[in-house]
Amino acid sequence: MKLTYRGVSYEHNPLTLEPTTHEISGKYRGATWKHNYPRHIPQTQPTAELKYRGVSYYVGDPLQVEFIIRAKQHSDTVKTAQVRQPEVGQPEKTGGELTKTHLTNIRRNLERRLLIATEQGDQDLIRLLEDEAKHIA
């Protein structure tokens, strides 16, 4: 098809879409309907894991469902194994140690912010940061 746009002529060949042999069909209020997907659009894959009112169930090809169930069980066991094992040489910290570490990090961050404020010469910010340091101590 010959087309002209703003004085420029060109040949337009529209793509022809061929429907696939796979079609989706069903019944709605007693009337059947069919829908063919064009070939370039990927076919939709069925959802394998669904949940209704808190109860999980699976639909689709039984082999794929079995594979998904086993993969999920394997990932759950790996996650629990990773959570239960503390790092070697790193004992778990208690509440008091965590509080001390948290305050140390806050003080370090405040010192860094104060150093940057002094380099920039912002006296108002320096005063605010010094007041904040008094509240922390």
Find the domain containing 44 and state its range: 2-59
CB-CB contact of 125 with 110 (8 Å): no
Is 102 a domain residue? yes
Q: Dihedral of the CA atoms 100, 103, 108, 113 (nearest 10)?
A: 180
Is 38 a domain residue? yes
Last residue within a domain, chosen from 39, 59, 79: 59
User: Which residues, at least 6 apart from 120, have a Cβ–Cβ distance to it below 8 Å?
Assistant: none
CB-CB contact of 34 with 22 (8 Å): no
pLDDT band at 47 (very low <50, low <70, confident <90, very high): low
pLDDT given for residue 115 in this prediction: 93
Last residue within a domain, chosen from 59, 84, 107: 59
Say which residue, 48 or 29, is predicted with more confidence: 29
pLDDT given for residue 94 in this prediction: 76
pLDDT given for residue 123 in this prediction: 93
CB-CB contact of 58 with 41 (8 Å): no
Q: Number of folded domains in the chain?
A: 2
pLDDT given for residue 72 in this prediction: 82
CB-CB contact of 37 with 22 (8 Å): yes
* Nearest partner of 43 among 61, 59, 20, 62, judged by Cα: 20
Residues 90-114 pLDDT 10s: 667 777 888 888 999 999 999 999 9
pLDDT band at 16 (very low <50, low <70, confident <90, very high): low
Q: How many Å apart are CA 100 and CA 103, to the nearest integer?
A: 5
Is 110 a domain residue? yes
Is 124 a domain residue? yes
Predicted structure pTM score: 0.34
User: Which residues, at least 6 apart from 119, have a Cβ–Cβ distance to it below 8 Å?
Assistant: none
Say which residue, 6 or 23, is predicted with more confidence: 6
Percent residues over pLDDT 70 in the chain: 74
pLDDT band at 23 (very low <50, low <70, confident <90, very high): low
Is 114 a domain residue? yes
Mean pLDDT, rounded, of the chain: 79
